């Protein structure tokens, strides 16, 4: 549990906003993967790469009501969820009592260094103020095992600067895949694949993006070629 006294106000506001809409969000989105074949394809590739490497469980960070955590489990991964919102975590536990869901923030994960084989952050970095995102990516790098994979889902755009928009739950940002990839590179990740698609008819007008990246085996400064793909 993140202390509401010491945490930055943006975390406090984001948690309160998702606590307030958790049931509606679960109702609207728990089956959404059924109509998103491109996201399912990226999740399947992510799962296969994580399994091939076999270096630890996968954390679905910002898991919401846990439907994507459950999808990762169905793909054969040992997956657990982490979310800022206590209400989201309660709904996830209710929907899938067999899976683990914890309260926590991506800004300071209660996870040991190098403990994870993979991280999914599916539309959960969208509320992080751009100036705070480098620290989040450094935290992801810390908890991933060498060779571990990170899959990000986000609202995409072409502008090189992140664009603020009035997301229905709380203020959010959309990113060009190139700009986001540059921040990931600075945090030590290498690109594996990216997907950018036009909005589905039920989605708001923005393009949707996915970036699949890897923490190199050799670490940030290591000169050895990274041949583990
Ligand atoms: C748009 S929802 C996405 C939920 C789910 N991943 C999905 O794909 O439907 C964003 C989720 O990220 C969570 N979140 C936002 N900021 C977070 C943070 N700093 N740490 C952990 N979770 C966070 C919110 O509470 C919310 O459940």
Give the binding-site residues of ligand 1, using a 6 Å CB cut-off. Answer: 11, 14, 18, 29, 61-64, 68, 83-85, 88, 105-107, 122-124, 127
Query: How close is the Cα of 76 to the center of ligand 1, in Å?
Result: 23
Quote the pTM value: 0.93
Unique residue bearing structure tokens 């948690």: 15
Q: Measured at the alpha carbon of residue 138, what is the angle toward residues 121 and 120, in degrees to the nearest 5?
A: 15
3-state secondary structure of 54: coil
Integer CA distances (angstroms), 32 to 36, 93, 158, 203, 227, in order: 7, 19, 25, 11, 35
Strand partners, 130: none
Q: Round the CA-based radius of gyration of the chain to a whole number and report it.
A: 16
Strand partners, 122: 153
Q: Give the domains, in start order, of the chain with CATH numbers.
A: 9-214 (3.40.50.150)
What does each of the 229 residues of the chain score in pLDDT, given as a tens digit? 444 444 579 999 999 999 999 999 999 999 999 999 999 999 999 999 999 999 999 999 999 999 999 999 999 999 999 999 999 999 999 999 999 999 999 999 999 999 999 999 999 999 999 999 999 999 999 999 999 999 999 999 999 999 999 989 999 999 999 999 999 999 999 999 999 999 988 776 899 999 999 999 974 444 444 444 4
Q: Which atom of ligand 1 is nearest to the CA of 64?
A: 27
């Amino acid at each position: 549990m993140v202390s509401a006294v010491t945490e930055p106000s943006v975390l406090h506001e984001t948690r309160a906003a998702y606590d307030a809409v958790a049931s509606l969000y679960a109702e609207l989105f728990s089956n959404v993967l059924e109509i998103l074949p491109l996201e399912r394809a990226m999740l399947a590739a992510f799962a296969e790469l994580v399994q091939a490497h076999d270096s630890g469980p996968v954390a679905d960070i910002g898991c919401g009501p846990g439907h994507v955590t459950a999808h990762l489990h169905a793909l054969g991964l040992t997956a657990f969820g982490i979310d800022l919102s206590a209400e989201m975590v309660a709904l996830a536990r209710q929907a899938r009592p067999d899976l683990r869901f914890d309260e926590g923030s991506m800004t300071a994960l209660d996870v040991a260094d190098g403990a994870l084989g993979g991280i999914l952050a599916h539309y959960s970095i969208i509320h992080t103020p751009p100036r705070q995102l480098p620290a989040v990516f450094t935290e992801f790098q810390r908890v991933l095992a060498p060779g571990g994979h990170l899959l990000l889902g986000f609202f995409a755009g072409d502008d090189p600067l992140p664009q603020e928009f009035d997301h229905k739950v709380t203020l959010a940002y959309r990113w060009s895949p190139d700009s986001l990839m540059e921040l990931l590179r600075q945090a030590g990740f290498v690109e594996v694949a990216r997907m950018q698609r036009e909005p589905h008819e039920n989605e708001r007008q923005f393009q949707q993006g996915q970036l699949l990246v890897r923490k190199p085996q050799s670490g940030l400064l290591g000169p050895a070629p990274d041949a583990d793909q």
